[in-house]
């Protein structure tokens, strides 16, 4: 069936690199003065460029791309899970997708999470969780999406179920083999660290065509030390 890209929801915020890496004052307030000064120093050390990641992170991103990213994107368990979900979701309408996403978002932070738990407890999520645990703090989160942008597996609960209106899916799955999307460096309140997301399509080894996408959230400091 033809690929359909549902228009993005208006509540989404796409952070800019300027806001993400060049304004240290909010970070100092969030992290405390001592930690904030250290974070601000790292923040101001990252140059703002029109395209591409900060230069200090390029070498680390290349290593992750050739290592962890490739390993997970070619994992037989991940590929099998995406294939199965693509088949199961082939008949979903736009309304179905939005309804499932709404149900997911309503469950986040609550005691009853049937929609979220169905993904969190599956084999693909177990693979991603194991990869995160074995990364020694490098991976902050990992999740895989199907050919509609819906979560297939995840190491941690995402804020929404449908990623199909975001660059991490649109700039990878829709563009095919060789595509890559790198997010802005942003500050994560929960972990008090800088993070950056690396996303790439997952390619079917038989057809050579994209069947889904993979996103890795990475600790920027650990990435810079690779």
Residue 191, pLDDT score: 76
Note the pLDDT of residue 171: 97
Burial 11-38 (b: 16+ CB within 10 A, else e): eeeeeebeebbeebeebbeebeeeebee
Q: How far is the C-alpha of 195 from the C-alpha of 221, rounded, in Å?
A: 8
Q: Tell me which residue has tokens 């995840």.
A: 154
Segments in the chain below pLDDT 50? 1-2, 4-5, 7-8, 10-31, 33, 35-37, 39-40, 43-44, 46-50
Residue 166 CA to residue 13 CA, distance in Å, equals 10
Query: How confident is the model at residue 192, as a pLDDT?
Result: 84
Strands (E), 86-192: 139-145, 151-154, 181-182, 186-188
State the pLDDT at residue 52: 66
pLDDT digits (tens, 9 = 90+) for 7-24: 445 333 333 333 344 444
pLDDT at 36: 47
Residue-wise burial string across 177-207, b where 16 or more C-beta atoms lie within 10 A, e elsewhere? eebebbbbbbbeeeeebbbbbbbbbbbeeee
Contact at 8 Å (CB) between 92 and 148? Answer: yes
In the prediction, which pLDDT does 51 show? 57
Give the HSE-up count for residue 118: Cα atoms under 13 Å, Cβ half-sphere.
11
Whole-angstrom distance, CA of residue 131 vs CA of residue 125: 10
Q: Could you tell me which residues are beta bridge partners of residue 218?
A: 139, 196
8 Å CB contact between 161 and 151: yes
């Amino acid at each position: 069936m033809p690929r359909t890209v549902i228009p993005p929801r208006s509540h989404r915020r796409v952070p800019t690199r300027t806001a993400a890496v060049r304004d240290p004052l909010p970070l100092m307030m969030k992290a405390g003065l001592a930690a904030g000064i250290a974070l601000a120093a790292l923040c101001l050390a990252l140059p703002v460029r029109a395209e591409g990641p900060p230069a200090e992170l390029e070498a680390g991103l290349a290593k992750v791309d050739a290592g962890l990213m490739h390993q997970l994107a070619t994992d037989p368990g991940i590929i099998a899970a995406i294939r199965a979900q693509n088949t199961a979701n082939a008949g979903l309408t736009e309304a179905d997708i939005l309804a499932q996403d709404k149900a997911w978002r309503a469950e986040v932070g609550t005691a009853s999470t049937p929609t979220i738990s169905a993904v969190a407890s599956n084999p693909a999520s177990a693979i991603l969780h194991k990869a995160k645990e074995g990364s020694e703090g490098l991976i902050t989160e990992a999740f895989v999406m199907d050919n509609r942008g819906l979560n297939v597996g995840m190491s941690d609960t995402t804020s929404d179920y449908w990623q199909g209106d975001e660059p991490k899916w649109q700039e990878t799955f829709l563009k095919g083999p060789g595509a890559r999307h790198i997010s802005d460096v942003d500050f994560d309140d929960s972990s008090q660290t800088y993070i950056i997301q690396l996303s790439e399509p997952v390619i079917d080894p038989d057809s050579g065509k994209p069947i889904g996408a993979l996103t890795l959230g990475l600790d920027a400091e650990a990435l810079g030390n690779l």
